[in-house]
C-alpha cells in the first residue's frame, strides 16, 4: 500500500470518572477510577443475566453456606457452656461435635457447588464476550487496524478477556458471600452480646483507613500494567512476523533493547500494582490479630465480671475472625476487580467501535455482474487534509484489462482499495454496471471481486483448504481443477502429502512463486467477475513468472481486470495503461501509444532496460520505424 499511517503505540490513559462505582466503594475509599465503572459492571452483568436460574442457585447456595458458617461458632459456644463447663457430658459433647462436623462438611459442599456452577456460568459469559469481540474485529475497516498495533488488539482478546473470566469465576460469589457474611456475623454478635460486639467492631475504622490508602494506588498500577502488556505483545507480534527482516539487517540487538525497555516499564508497573495489592493481606492479618487480642482481653475481663460466659467468649473469638476475614477478602477482591474492570473497558471499547464502512439502509444485492467499472472524479486521503488521489477518472469496459503503473506511493494500490471498498472515497463516485458501490451490499461486492496480492497470505492449513478458501463449498475435484488452471498442480503433487500437505505459518515452507500460484488458484476457484492483480509477479524469478503469467491470462480471460505492474513488460497487452504519479493520472493509452509519446511511461519503461542498451535501441528503432 502507498500510505504508511503512523500507528499509535501508546493508548492515552482513560479519563477519570466522578463518584459512583460498585457498592463496596465506601469500604475501599475512592481510588483512581475507570471512565465509567457502573456501565462496565452493568454490561458484564448483562452477559451473566441470561442464566438467571444458575445465578439464583448460586445465590441460594451462598445464603446456605453463610448461614451454616454462622451456625458453627454458635454450636461451639453451646458445647463449651453446656457440656464442658456447666455439667461435663461426653455423649452430649460428642453429639455436638458430630453436628458441627456435618455443618462444616455441608459448608464445604455448598462452596464447591457454587464454585462449580459459577465457573460454568462465567465461562459461557466469557465465551459470548470473546465471540462478540472477535466478530466485531471482523467488521471493522482497515483504517481501524492501520492505527493500532496488532499485538495490542491480541492482548485485549486474550489477556483482558482472561482477567474478566478469572473475576467472574472466582470473585463474584466470594464478594456476595463476604458481604453477606459481614452482615450476618454483625447481627449474630449483636444478638448474643451487644457490648462485646461493639468491642469487636473497634478495628473497622483502622481497616477502612488502611484500605483507603492502598486503593488509591492499585487502580493506577493495574491499568498501566495492562496497557504496557498490550504494547509488549505488539512488539512481540511484529518481531516474530518480521523475523527475516530483523535478521537480514542485523537488528537483533536493537529489538532486544526495545523489548527490554518495554519489559522494564512493565516490571515497574507490575511491581507498583502488586506491592500495594500484596501489602493488603499482611495489613489485614495485623488488624485481625489486633481485633483478636481486643476481643480476647475484653472477653476475659467480662467473663471474670460475670458479664459473659466462656462459651460466648469462644464463639465471639471465632465470629471476630469470621467478621474480619470477609473484609480481608473484599480488600483483595477489590484489586482483582479493578484489574478486570480495566480489561473489560478495553474489550468493550473495541466492541463499541462503530464500523466505518457499513451497508446503506437501502443497499442492494449484487447478482449478475457485467464488469463495467467507472471512477468519476474520485478524491481520497487516508488522513484528513492529506490527499492521496486527486480527481481520478477511468472507465473499464466489461472484459477489458486496465493496467496501473507509476512510482511507489503514487496511489495505484489505493485505487483498488477503493474499488474493493476497503475504504470509502471522500468525493466523486465509483460505479459497477452503473450502480454506485456505496449502494451495494459490501459482502456481495467483495464476493464478485477476486484479489491476488504481491504479499500473498496463506493460512496454517492444508494446500487443499487454502485454495478452497476462495469458495468454501467447492469439491476436491473443483479445487484440483483450479490448481491445474493456475499451473500449481505440478508443484503441489511434488509436496510430501500433495494437496494435503500442511503449510507452516505464513506458508514459509513453500516459495514466494508457489504462494502466488496458490493465490491465483484460489481466485480461479472463486470465479470473480472483476479481478485485481496487485504486482503479483514482482517477487519471483523469470521462469516462475512465466508460469504465473500463463495462469493470470487464463484467470483474466473474459473478466474485467485491474493489474498493478512493477515489471512494465508484463502489461504490454493491456487494453489501457494508466500512468499515475502523485495521486493523479498523468498519462493513459496503450503500451505502444505511451511509448510513442516519450513521456513519463516511456522513461519508466526504458529505465528498466538501462543495463541492456541493445534492447533500448531496438525499442527506439521500432517506434521510429528505422529498425
CATH number at residue 118: 1.20.1560.10
**Nearest alpha-carbon partner for 83 in 104, 100, 66:** 100
Question: Is residue 169 assigned to a domain?
Answer: yes
pLDDT at residue 545, rounded to an integer: 67
Q: Which residues contact 388 (CB under 8 A, 6 or more apart)?
A: 2, 3, 380, 381, 382, 411, 414, 583
Considering the entire predicted model, what is its pTM?
0.67
pLDDT at residue 4, rounded to an integer: 38
Assess whether 493 and 536 both reside in one domain. Answer: yes
- Residue 591 near residue 579, CB atoms below 8 Å: no
Question: Is residue 292 assigned to a domain?
Answer: yes
Q: What is the DSSP string of 553-589?
A: HHHHTTSEEEEE-SSGGGGTT-SEEEEEETTEEEEEE
Assess whether 211 and 186 both reside in one domain. Answer: yes
Rounded to the nearest 10 degrees, the angle between the axes of helix 90-139 and helix 161-192 is: 150
Assess whether 253 and 392 both reside in one domain. Answer: no
CATH number at residue 524: 3.40.50.300
Question: Is residue 27 assigned to a domain?
Answer: no
Residue 193 grid cell = 452480646
pLDDT at residue 167, rounded to an integer: 83
Assess whether 424 and 497 both reside in one domain. Answer: yes
Question: Is residue 13 assigned to a domain?
Answer: no
Q: Pairing state of beta strands 389-396 and 401-405?
A: unpaired
Assess whether 586 and 608 both reside in one domain. Answer: no
Q: Pairing state of beta strands 389-396 and 373-380?
A: antiparallel
pLDDT at residue 254, rounded to an integer: 83
Bridge partners for 576 per DSSP: 402
Give the strand order in the sheet containing 427-432. 389-396, 373-380, 427-432, 435-436
State the total domains in the chain: 3
Assess whether 483 and 626 both reside in one domain. Answer: no
- Residue 339 near residue 162, CB atoms below 8 Å: no
Assess whether 398 and 535 both reside in one domain. Answer: yes
Question: Is residue 173 assigned to a domain?
Answer: yes
pLDDT at residue 513, rounded to an integer: 80
Question: Is residue 545 assigned to a domain?
Answer: yes
Assess whether 213 and 281 both reside in one domain. Answer: yes
Assess whether 298 and 264 both reside in one domain. Answer: yes
In angstroms, the CA 479 to CA 521 distance is 8
Question: Is residue 186 assigned to a domain?
Answer: yes
Assess whether 614 and 558 both reside in one domain. Answer: no
pLDDT at residue 292, rounded to an integer: 73
Low-confidence ranges of the chain (pLDDT < 50): 1-33, 624, 626-627
In angstroms, the CA 3 to CA 598 distance is 29
Domain enclosing residue 171, as ranges:
47-351
Q: What is the DSSP string of 443-492?
A: HHHHHTEEEE-SS----SSBHHHHHHTT-TT--HHHHHHHHHHTT-HHHH
Assess whether 617 and 497 both reside in one domain. Answer: no
pLDDT at residue 610, rounded to an integer: 56
Bridge partners for 534 per DSSP: 564
| Number of CB atoms found within 10 A of residue 564's CB | 23
pLDDT at residue 627, rounded to an integer: 40
Question: Is residue 39 assigned to a domain?
Answer: no
Calculate Rg over the CA atoms of the chain.
36
Assess whether 585 and 608 both reside in one domain. Answer: no
pLDDT at residue 579, rounded to an integer: 93
In angstroms, the CA 30 to CA 117 distance is 32
pLDDT at residue 622, rounded to an integer: 54
Amino acid at each position: 500500500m502507498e500510505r504508511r499511517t503512523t500507528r499509535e503505540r501508546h493508548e492515552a490513559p482513560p479519563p477519570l470518572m466522578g463518584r459512583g462505582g460498585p457498592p463496596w466503594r465506601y469500604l475501599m475509599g475512592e481510588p483512581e477510577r475507570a471512565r465509567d465503572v457502573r456501565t462496565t459492571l452493568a454490561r458484564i452483568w448483562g452477559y451473566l443475566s441470561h442464566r438467571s436460574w444458575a445465578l439464583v442457585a448460586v445465590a441460594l447456595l451462598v445464603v446456605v453456606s453463610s448461614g451454616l458458617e454462622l451456625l458453627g461458632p454458635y454450636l461451639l459456644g453451646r458445647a463449651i457452656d453446656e457440656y464442658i463447663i456447666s455439667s461435663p457430658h461426653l455423649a452430649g459433647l460428642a453429639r455436638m461435635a458430630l453436628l458441627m462436623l456435618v455443618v462444616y462438611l455441608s459448608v464445604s459442599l455448598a462452596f464447591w457447588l457454587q464454585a462449580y456452577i459459577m465457573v460454568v456460568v462465567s465461562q459461557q459469559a466469557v465465551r459470548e464476550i470473546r465471540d462478540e469481540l472477535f466478530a466485531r474485529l471482523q467488521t471493522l475497516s482497515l483504517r481501524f487496524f492501520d492505527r493500532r498495533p496488532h499485538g495490542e488488539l491480541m492482548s485485549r482478546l486474550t489477556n483482558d478477556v482472561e482477567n474478566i473470566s478469572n473475576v467472574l469465576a472466582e470473585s463474584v460469589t466470594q464478594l456476595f458471600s463476604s458481604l453477606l457474611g459481614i452482615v450476618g456475623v454483625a447481627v449474630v454478635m449483636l444478638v448474643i452480646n451487644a457490648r462485646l460486639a461493639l468491642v469487636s467492631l473497634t478495628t473497622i475504622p483502622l481497616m477502612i483507613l488502611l484500605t483507603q490508602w492502598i486503593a488509591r494506588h492499585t487502580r493506577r498500577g493495574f491499568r498501566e500494567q495492562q496497557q504496557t502488556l498490550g504494547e509488549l505483545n505488539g512488539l512481540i507480534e511484529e518481531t516474530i512476523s518480521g523475523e527475516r527482516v530483523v535478521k537480514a539487517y542485523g537488528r537483533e540487538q536493537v529489538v532486544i533493547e526495545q523489548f527490554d525497555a518495554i519489559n522494564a516499564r512493565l516490571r515497574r508497573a507490575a511491581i507498583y500494582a502488586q506491592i500495594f495489592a500484596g501489602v493488603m493481606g499482611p495489613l489485614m492479618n495485623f488488624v485481625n490479630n489486633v481485633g483478636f487480642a481486643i476481643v480476647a482481653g475484653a472477653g476475659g475481663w467480662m467473663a471474670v465480671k460475670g458479664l459473659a460466659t466462656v462459651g460466648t467468649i469462644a464463639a465471639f473469638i471465632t465470629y471476630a475472625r469470621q467478621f474480619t476475614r470477609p473484609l480481608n477478602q473484599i480488600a483483595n477482591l477489590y484489586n482483582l476487580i479493578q484489574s478486570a474492570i480495566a480489561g473489560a473497558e478495553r474489550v468493550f471499547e473495541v466492541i463499541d467501535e462503530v464500523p466505518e464502512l457499513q451497508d446503506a439502509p437501502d443497499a442492494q444485492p449484487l447478482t449478475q455482474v457485467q464488469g463495467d467499472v467507472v471512477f468519476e472524479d474520485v478524491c481520497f486521503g487516508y488522513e484528513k487534509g492529506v490527499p492521496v488521489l486527486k480527481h481520478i477518472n477511468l472507465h473499464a469496459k466489461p472484459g477489458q484489462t486496465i493496467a496501473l503503473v507509476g512510482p511507489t506511493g503514487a496511489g495505484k494500490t489505493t485505487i483498488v482499495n477503493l474499488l474493493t471498498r476497503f475504504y470509502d472515497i471522500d468525493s466523486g463516485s465509483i460505479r459497477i454496471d452503473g450502480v454506485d458501490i456505496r449502494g451495494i451490499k459490501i459482502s456481495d461486492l467483495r464476493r464478485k471481486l477476486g484479489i491476488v496480492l504481491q504479499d500473498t497470505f496463506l493460512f496454517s492449513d492444508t494446500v487443499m483448504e487454502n485454495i478452497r478458501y476462495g469458495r468454501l463449498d467447492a469439491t476436491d475435484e473443483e479445487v484440483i481443477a483450479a490448481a491445474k488452471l493456475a499451473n500449481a498442480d505440478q508443484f503441489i503433487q511434488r509436496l510430501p502429502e500433495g494437496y494435503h500437505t500442511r503449510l507452516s505459518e505464513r506458508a514459509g515452507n513453500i516459495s514466494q512463486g508457489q504462494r502466488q500460484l496458490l493465490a491465483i488458484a484460489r481466485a480461479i476457484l472463486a470465479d470473480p467477475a472483476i479481478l485485481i492483480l496487485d504486482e503479483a509477479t514482482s517477487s519471483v524469478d523469470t521462469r516462475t513468472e512465466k508460469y504465473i503469467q500463463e495462469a493470470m491470462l487464463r484467470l483474466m480471460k473474459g473478466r474485467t481486470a485491474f493489474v498493478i505492474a512493477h515489471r512494465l513488460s508484463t502489461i504490454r497487452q493491456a487494453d489501457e495503461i494508466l500512468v499515475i504519479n502523485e495521486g493523479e493520472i498523468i498519462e493513459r493509452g496503450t503500451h505502444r501509444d505511451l511509448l510513442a509519446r516519450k513521456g513519463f511511461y516511456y522513461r519508466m519503461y526504458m529505465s528498466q532496460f538501462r543495463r541492456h542498451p541493445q534492447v533500448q535501441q531496438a525499442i527506439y528503432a521500432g517506434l521510429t520505424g528505422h529498425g
